[in-house]
Structures are given as C-alpha cells and as structure tokens.
Homo-oligomer: A and B are copies of this chain.
C-alpha cells in the first residue's frame, strides 16, 4: 500500500504531539519553543528535538487567537501590474526581517467596492496592521473603516493629515535631476512634465523649477510642457522642440516613458546624446532605462525604501506610537549614458 501524503486522516502535528513526545506538558512545550527564560536547558532541548522530529509548525491561527497578535499584516494595492506594490512589499519584508512577517495581499484594480470587500476580509483575518499602496502620487481618500488596526499609506498619500503616509519625495526628484544637469554644465534645460494635474508631474516640476531658480535660470520656454506620460507624447514634444528650432542642451522628463520617446526622436534627428543634449528620466523603470539608446539616466523613486519606512511606521503604530502626517523619502539619481557618456 502506498503512503499517500494527502490521505484523509493526515493532520499536521500539534503542540500536544510535541509535548507528549518530549514528555512534558503543553504549557512547558509552549514556553520552551517560545524561548522563555523559565525553562531548563535540558527540557528546552528535548522539546526542540521533538518539534524537529515531528516537523512541527505552530498553528499561527491558534497562536493568534490565544496571544492576540501574529506577525500578519495586510497590503491593499490599486496597482494592476505590481510595478509599485512589489518593491513596497519587498521593503516591508526587509523591515520586518526575513520570514518575520506574512502579508495578505489584495489588489483592488482601483475600484472602491473591491477595496471595501478586501478590507473587510483583511479585518476578518485580524491583521495587525494595514499598508495601503497606490500607484500614483495623487492623494487618495482615507480608508473608511472604524477598524482599530493601524493603517499606513504608501506612495499615494491619504488626503487626511490624521493618517500616516509615506511617499516618494517627488520635489526632490525634480531638484536632483536639475542639479545633475547643472553640474554637467547644462543651462538650457527643457522640462517635459507628464499629465497635467497629476501630483507627480506637478511636484517634480516644482522641484526642477526651484533648482533652476537657485541657479538664476528658467526652464527653456519659460514653463514646463504638460502632456501625457507616454513615449508617444515624449516623441511629439521632442519633435516639436526641434521643429521650432528651440535652443536646448538638456531635457528633464517626468517619466521614463517620455524620456525614451524623446531619445528616439533625438536619435532619429541625429542629435547626439549626451553630447548635444543630455536627458534625464524619472522612475528608473528598467524596461525603459536599459533599452533606450543610449541607456537612460533616471531618478529612482526609492519605492523599496518607501515600503521599508511604511512598515517601520506601521510597527511603531502597532506599539501605540503613531506618527500622523506625510513623510517624504528622498529619491536618488542613477546616472547612465544619456547624461554621462
């Protein structure tokens, strides 16, 4: 007869099994496994041996019920491809330490009913806390829940100043890009912003304009040009600059897609990058930065760090130490051949 590991009667070993094998009470077994002081070294060893022998994995549902807490948090994201929530998830795991936390992950596809239903489910699981991640820098409504678990917003801040939000510092993103270009001696800098009305575009432009102003400069044309986040718009905008015979020696684009579009047109028009025109993108999205010609210097949004900080703030809140307000994580610049040949 074959031993089918999936057969009916099989059940995972319990603490009672461990205790029996070790010849102690469940209470003692529990203490030994949880590393309490009050257990003698011999007993501790016996219990650990037994646990190992049985491949015991404590039932965290029971543990949670009894102890009131488990290392479980929920993550709700509106992002549909993981480009934002994945790094945030990784950062949160970094903060907790390897295997120290488990996360219930729900994607809402950006719709509120789905968010509500996931929220309800997560609260049912009695998560210790919640990270809500968004895929735009625009602020979003506060999660409506009279729940008692702490909530931290990541990347997309909550509109409510009562909430704790951790976001990329998009202002610094713009500033960083310009400072880099200035340091390379560029002074006629074009600003290609993304979608008008988006916080990300607005903040990046503000940072860029501020940095230019400090150097006594303005963006070429006096203002940033707004359009879309796409490569197509990047192409159109760059073509337009050339057609109008605008004088410029650098472009800062508020997205990597825009930048890649611009690079394609510069290349087609035989403008040498970075010699004649240096280009900086934003987002550090490898699908864009590593495939463009030349490879694209870009601003990294530090989403993983956002995740790390979000988790830290969440853990603090779980200990009763909330820090309401918006916290900004500085961006970084990743230099590549589009600025430093």
Contact = CB atoms under 8 A, between A and B. Distances in A.
Nearest to A151: B6
Given A104-B104, A107-B90, A126 B83 contact: no
A110 interface: no
A297 interface: no
B122 A102 contact: yes
Q: Of A6, A8, A103, A261, which is in contact with the most chain B CB atoms at under 10 Å from its CB? A: A6
A90 B98 CA distance: 26
A25 interface: no
Interface stretch (A57-65, A178-186, A187-195, A246-254): A57-65
B60 A125 contact: yes
A82 interface: yes
Interface in A74-118: 75, 80-83, 85-86, 89-90, 93, 98-99, 102-107, 109, 114, 117-118
Nearest to A99: B117
A322 interface: yes
Interface in A110-140: 114, 117-118, 120-126
A146 interface: yes
Contacts of A57: 120, 123-124
B55 A61 contact: no
Q: Of A85, A285, A287, which is in contact with the most chain B CB atoms at under 10 Å from its CB? A: A287
Contacts of A83: 81-82
Interface in A31-88: 55, 57-62, 64-65, 70, 72, 75, 80-83, 85-86
A105 to B, nearest CB: 4
Contact of A82 (B60, B81, B122, B126): B81
Given A12-B126, A65-B65, A120 B102 contact: no
A12 B317 CA distance: 17
Contacts of A150: 6
A147 B13 CA distance: 10
Given A86-B80, A105-B103, A126 B55 contact: no
Given A61-B126, A104-B105, A82 B86 contact: yes
Interface of A: 5-6, 8, 10-12, 55, 57-62, 64-65, 70, 72, 75, 80-83, 85-86, 89-90, 93, 98-99, 102-107, 109, 114, 117-118, 120-126, 146-148, 150, 230-232, 257, 260-261, 264, 268, 285, 287-288, 291, 317, 320, 322
28 contacts: A5-B146, A6-B148, A6-B150, A11-B148, A12-B123, A12-B147, A57-B124, A59-B65, A60-B124, A61-B61, A61-B65, A65-B65, A72-B125, A81-B82, A82-B82, A82-B83, A82-B86, A93-B107, A98-B117, A99-B114, A99-B117, A102-B106, A103-B105, A230-B291, A231-B291, A232-B291, A264-B264, A285-B287
